[in-house]
Structure 1
């Protein structure tokens, strides 16, 4: 029995990762998690200072931590991506006030961009076809059109 390439199971880590990545809003979740991680890295206050300042200091660590968590949740639970992405964009915008202008704007922009990408991702969308493929699929000079 001769097997074609379509019948063979995928072999190797790279094709398996591509298949996993194609079934979820990968770039959106990754950017949101990177934005939260960046903001956490730019925080320079020690725990003593955070506890002394109170709730405002705690929010400086809580919001980017939740951004990081939401980015990971988008990656590993894409069915709830709409809730996670809306919450992620709100938390990203909240870091403007609580965390050094949103990690000096870099973390804020990464978080908002990632949340928007995750929100706009469609799970059952057909892959895009290139311009050449679309052009070749068109009937030439209206040959496929019929007159009434």
Structure 2
């Protein structure tokens, strides 16, 4: 195998790079946080925790509301992954649903779901698509000197500047002040 031959990439590496490119084109982490925020909000009102022989039921009268909020947050998270143009709407909706979950769903899933929905919604609103990198010109395959034989170099060096460089001062509009030339600028003397 020579230096010019690309290394053979495995199936796993190719899939990982495809996923990385897909993830970079959308608010992936915002969608993940919003989805993870919906899970505790929907789960805790229906959970029966076992502590030894003691069963702790967290059922509230707003169990249906908690389920709706949790499912909506999961749907908003999925829509952030596959419908990136609705990111502002989905982010604002996730923030509002997270705030509504505080009184409805056991303090927003014991603040876990509330905080995840809040952070994910803020990330969705703040996300902006990246600028694709500029295309690089192909590398020159000339001789060792960098230019083919008989061809001149395309880059030209600027002549060195000797002495201080004078900067033009702004002129007045009348053009009658002493020291102004014909075009209204100070003459270099």
Q: TM-score, normalised by structure 1?
A: 0.70
Question: Equivalences for 1:1-148 in 2 at 5 Å?
Answer: 12-44=14-46, 53=61, 56-125=62-131, 148=167
Name the Cα RMSD after superposition: 2.9
Instruction: Return closer, same or farther for 1:93/1:125 CA change in 2, 3 Å cut-off.
Output: farther
Larger C-alpha radius of gyration, 1 or 2? 2
Structure 1 gap ranges (5+): 6-10, 128-145
Give the structure with the higher percent helix: 1
* CA distance, structure 1, for counterparts of residue 37 and residue 125 of structure 2: 16
Instruction: Return closer, same or farther for 1:4/1:29 CA change in 2, 3 Å cut-off.
Output: farther
Structure 2 gap ranges (5+): 7-12, 49-58, 134-164, 168-189
Give the structure with the higher percent strand: 2
Check conservation: 1:64, 1:92, Cα contact below 8 A: no
Higher relative contact order (CA closer than 8 Å, sequence separation 6+): 1
* CA distance, structure 2, for counterparts of residue 4 and residue 84 of structure 1: 46
Runs of 4+ in 1 over 6 A off after TM superposition: none
Alignment: residue pair count: 120
